[in-house]
Amino acid sequence: MPDPSTTHGPTPSPTAPARALRLGVCGPVGTGKSSLIALLCRELSERLELGVVTNDIYTDEDARFLRSAGVLDADRIRAVETGACPHTAIRDDITANAMAIEELEEDYEHRLEMVLVESGGDNLTATFSPALVDVQVFVLDVAGGGDVARKGGPGIERADLLVVNKTDLGPFVGVDVPRMVADATAARGDRPVIGLSRTDRDSIDRLLAWVDNRLAEHRAGSLVPVDPGPMAAHSHAHEHTHTHDQGGEPVGVHHH
Amino acid sequence: MTGPVHADLVLMLLADARLPVAGHTQSGGLEPGIRDGLGPQDVPAYVDVRLRTVTEVEAATAVLAGRLLRTGAPDAAWLDLEQAWEARTPSPALRDASRRQARALLRIARRTWPAAPAWEALAALEHPSRALALGALAGHLGLEGRAVAHLVGYDDVQTVCAAALKLLPLDPGSVVGWVVAALPAVEAMATRVSSVAEVDDLPATTHPLIEVWAQAHAATTRRLFHA
């Protein structure tokens, strides 16, 4: 008999069978997605049952990086081929990733508490389908240029968390890190931004606190996946008075 | 589906690359073939040889699965058919790729048609092949044998040709020409398999190089496609 719980995507219903929190990490190539996942594994694997699904464009490159980092048992790190379509694999056909997550959960007898899903790296419009992950982190890095946060886009504006990575590199690449974080914050309304560096313990602790809070919400059944969508923020001056994409005002999900 | 629907519409649905069954992860063995030296000029011949070997077996098996469903065959018949397919698919990597594709298909099909008797029929098998899963689904949705064979053949041609566009320096317009040029071979293959009525009628054509490539690909790193 078909079992809806195995065929549907993430469901926030508190009556759903317990399953791992699915946390997506996406963002442009080279911003430090794999390093962020390695960091989370290193910090959390002592106290949480973790699994990782990677989508490197060359299938197993990221998986091999994570396995060689020794932060997690190699069998808990699964690589998924995307046929050079990393965007498709997290958005319009999530099948391969969803199957990899389900297989990890089955192989570990549903003891996993969190599965990290790493996107293959794509452009600024790529975000996870809410059917694949419960919560998503968009990663930028200081070395990619101080103006990227100002460019906006769904991940930057509306991912559950924006990480501005490699803040320690600011002086070497001529980027004003506080300015970049402030730009990112302005683009996101109330949504959080963390300027992260593996040499900055305080930033790591803030990241872990954010993850722990999402996990607590997931366990309580109160975490509802929010879709950043692919659309740019828009203006519609003919409607009522808000002017959310002008003058540095927060732009983001808005309700009409 | 609550109103009458022509089989053409069902066929289009199942043949559409937008159906979320992870089709974008498959190259029909083209990626390892290119690693072993195939070039752009070889793709049409590669498509053709598949239609006369591995794809013909896949299509014939799917046609028979559809027939088993329509005739309400017992579990033993499904097991026989799966074993016959296994015997004709000697590469473990190809069998694994087929079963992963079946899992992807069944994932969405069970959700979309939860009450289909096809699922009870397939329950005799722990990990059905794609040929059985697709044949059973197509049979449930009312596709006749020839349509099932068209589906398998056309999908194989498009899978290889779409992967070729990713892997080789090609003009998409030229590749459409290859697909069109392959259609008579799809039709001929469908003619050969559409009347398959029992396991002993199944063709046993395979291609050792496709198997060797599949085995090598499963062991390689830096893959773009699963198979």
**Distance between CA atoms of residues B87 and B26, nearest Å:** 22
Angle at A242 between CA A236 and CA A248, to 5 degrees: 95
CB A48 within 8 A of CB A113: yes
**Distance between CA atoms of residues A103 and B120, nearest Å:** 22
Identify the residue whose tokens are 């946390």: A23
The pLDDT profile of chain B, 227 residues, written as one tens digit per residue, is 678 899 999 999 999 999 999 999 999 999 999 999 999 999 999 999 999 999 999 999 999 999 999 999 999 999 999 999 999 999 999 999 999 999 999 999 999 999 888 999 999 999 999 999 999 999 999 999 999 999 999 999 999 999 999 999 999 999 999 999 999 999 999 999 999 999 999 999 999 999 999 999 999 988 999 99
A1: contact with B, CB 8 A cutoff? yes
Please report, to the nearest 10 degrees, the dihedral formed by the alpha carbons of residues A140, A143, A149, A150 taken in order: -160
Q: Which two tokens stand for residue A80?
A: 């998924």
Q: Which residues of A touch B21 (CB under 8 A)?
A: 93, 95
| B134 contact partners, CB below 8 Å, separation of at least 6 | B14, B62, B65, B102, B105, B148, B151, B152
Complex ipTM value: 0.91
CB A5 within 8 A of CB A164: no
Count of other CB atoms within 10 angstroms of residue A214 = 19
The pLDDT profile of chain A, 256 residues, written as one tens digit per residue, is 344 444 444 544 444 547 999 999 999 989 999 999 999 999 999 999 999 999 977 767 788 888 888 889 999 999 999 998 999 999 999 999 999 999 999 999 999 999 999 998 877 888 999 999 999 999 999 999 889 988 888 999 999 999 999 999 999 999 999 999 999 999 998 999 999 999 999 999 999 999 999 999 999 999 999 999 877 766 665 545 444 444 433 444 444 3
A89: contact with B, CB 8 A cutoff? yes
CB A162 within 8 A of CB A184: yes
Q: Which two tokens stand for residue A218?
A: 């997931």
Numbered residues of chain B with Cβ closer than 8 Å to any chain A Cβ: 18, 20-27, 100, 103-104, 107-108, 110-111, 114, 119, 163, 166, 221-226
Q: In the beta sheet, which residues pair with residue A59?
A: A56
**Distance between CA atoms of residues B153 and B50, nearest Å:** 9
Q: Which residues of A touch B110 (CB under 8 A)?
A: 2, 7
**Nearest chain B residue (CA) to A89:** B22
For chain A, report the end-to-end CA distance as a whole number of angstroms.
42
Does A92 contact B18 at a Cβ distance shorter than 8 Å? yes
CB B129 within 8 A of CB B85: yes
Residue type, A117: V
Give the global pTM: 0.88
